[in-house]
């Protein structure tokens, strides 16, 4: 099992590093440098005037610490065939689990260290002591280990069903560290880790490993990872997933032309696709945050244009997907309506997106000039999109 893990880990790392060079291209790295530089500059300026006891600092540190405590997913690197071909090697699964735990924890530790480097000045202001800040950091690392043990224990049939209790105790430990003393939180976290580690060892002793659950979990994790990578480049093993959302049925009707099979297909494909629907929601969420917290009209307008452009640019590929679906070609309908139906659906999505972003922008900067410039810029963008982006082959 050790050789199997080593081989799969090497292949997995090669695949991840291959995609990373496409994700972190020169343009993105340059943009991140400017963003990090600007954020760091404002953060350092704020720290000069901050006391560490503003009303929001405590809740912010509590939420951040809890996120870091619960961060991390088991990396199994298993495939469907393993439940058949590796089943005779189940007695060696403890070694495989140990390798997986070490790999997962090392990645978690890297994220924790980066996060605490960023939060260290604020934590030091809050605790007024380097020793207390360091103890708090160690406590969060131990709590992350506790959570990791309980996550791995879920894949064993003979396990202690007390994960919810541990989640509550982790929350209590973080609150004790922030409100009372990090030393008490560190002691509580150590006790929790000793108990959790002992329970995991007891559960692992019987070697009743749930292959089906572990494989399903790994497939879900890889699909989520592939969807993120797919935003930047094409992913070879990406599986599209669809899910009906009944609460969006009225929106689907709004996007559909009456008695039109193509607009029906486009609207359902967009709203039920995890990739496309999730992308629209994320872009609108980010755009809405920028619109709410920016007082500059030109920044708001630029944000609206970029968000709408990105949404349409991603959704235009729906036409190709419908064309490739051969069953539609046998329907007794006019095939020339495919592109017109796509335009209809995109028009409705553009309208809803612009109204949402405009509403967010008007909450902090309401003016007739802003509304007029938004309408003018969106009309110009729409004209460009029709001419240069939506020219897809029939």
The Cα–Cα gap between 146 and 105 comes to 11
- Which pLDDT value is given to residue 176? 92
Residue 393 pLDDT: 45
Annotated domain spans of the chain: 2-226, 246-389
User: Measuring CA to CA, how many Å separate 275 from each of 45, 172, 315, 389?
Assistant: 39, 36, 10, 20
Residues 158/88, Cβ–Cβ less than 8 Å: no
pLDDT value of position 240: 59
CA-nearest of 352, 357, 340, 378 to 248 is: 352
Non-local CB neighbours of 370 within 8 Å, separated by 6+ positions: 297, 300, 301, 361, 362
Instruction: Answer positive or negative: Cα dihedral of 318, 320, 324, 330.
Output: positive
Q: Are 126 and 136 in contact (CB under 8 A)?
A: no
Query: What's residue 394's pLDDT?
Result: 45
CA distance 296 to 40: 21
- pLDDT at position 321, please? 62
Provide the pLDDT for residue 376. 81
| Sequence-ordered list of residues with C-beta below 8 angstroms from that of 49, at least 6 positions apart, any chain | none
163-179 vs 130-153: helix axis angle to the nearest 10? 180
In whole angstroms, what is the distance from residue 124 CA to residue 126 CA? 5
Residue 77, sorted as left (phi over 0), alpha (psi -120 to 50) or beta, turns out to be: left
Supply the DSSP symbol for 91: G
pLDDT of residue 365: 72
Backbone phi, then psi, for 259, in 5-degree steps? Answer: 55, 40
Q: Which residues of the chain, if any, have pLDDT below 70?
A: 27, 231-232, 234, 236-243, 274-275, 316-336, 338, 384-394
Nearest-angstrom CA–CA distance, 30 and 33: 5
- Alpha carbon distance 385, 383 (integer Å): 5
User: What pLDDT, on the 0 to 100 scale, is given for residue 23?
Assistant: 79
Whether 257 and 234 have beta carbons less than 8 Å apart is answered as no
Report the distance separating Cα 113 and Cα 382, nearest Å. Answer: 45
**Tokens describing residue 299:** 């920044």
């Amino acid at each position: 099992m050790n050789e199997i893990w080593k081989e799969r880990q090497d292949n997995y790392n090669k695949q991840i590093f291959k995609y990373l060079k496409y994700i972190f291209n020169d343009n993105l790295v340059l943009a991140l440098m400017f963003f990090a530089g600007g954020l760091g500059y404002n953060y350092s300026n704020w720290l000069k005037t901050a006391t560490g006891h503003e009303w929001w600092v405590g809740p912010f540190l509590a939420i951040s610490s809890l996120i870091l405590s619960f961060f991390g997913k088991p990396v199994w690197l298993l495939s469907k065939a393993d439940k058949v071909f590796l089943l005779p090697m189940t007695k060696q699964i403890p070694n495989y689990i140990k390798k997986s735990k070490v790999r997962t924890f090392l990645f978690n530790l890297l994220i924790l260290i980066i996060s605490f480097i960023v939060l260290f000045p604020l934590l030091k202001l809050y605790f007024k002591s380097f020793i207390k800040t360091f103890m708090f950091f160690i406590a969060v690392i131990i709590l992350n280990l506790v959570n990791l043990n309980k996550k791995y224990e879920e894949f064993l049939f003979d396990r202690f069903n007390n994960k919810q209790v541990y989640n509550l105790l982790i929350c209590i430990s973080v609150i004790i560290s922030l409100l009372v003393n990090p030393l008490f939180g560190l002691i509580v976290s150590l006790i929790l880790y000793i108990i959790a580690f002992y329970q995991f060892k007891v559960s692992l002793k019987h070697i009743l490993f749930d292959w089906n659950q572990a494989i399903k979990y790994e497939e879900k994790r890889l699909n989520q990872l592939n969807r993120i990578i797919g935003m930047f480049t094409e992913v070879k093993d990406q599986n599209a997933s669809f899910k009906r959302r009944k609460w969006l049925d009225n929106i689907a009707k709004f996007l559909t032309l009456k008695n039109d099979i193509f607009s029906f297909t486009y609207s359902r494909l967009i709203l039920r696709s995890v990739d496309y629907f999730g992308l629209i929601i994320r872009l609108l969420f980010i755009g809405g945050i920028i619109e709410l917290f920016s007082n500059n009209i030109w920044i708001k307008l630029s944000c609206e244009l970029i968000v709408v452009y990105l949404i349409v640019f991603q959704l235009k590929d729906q036409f190709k997907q419908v064309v490739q679906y051969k069953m539609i070609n046998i329907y007794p309908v006019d095939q020339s309506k495919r592109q017109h139906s796509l335009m209809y659906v995109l028009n409705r999505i553009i309208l809803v997106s612009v109204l949402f972003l405009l509403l967010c922008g008007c909450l902090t900067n309401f003016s007739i000039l802003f509304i007029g410039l938004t309408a003018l810029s969106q009309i110009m963008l729409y004209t460009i999109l029709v001419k240069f982006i939506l020219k897809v082959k029939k």
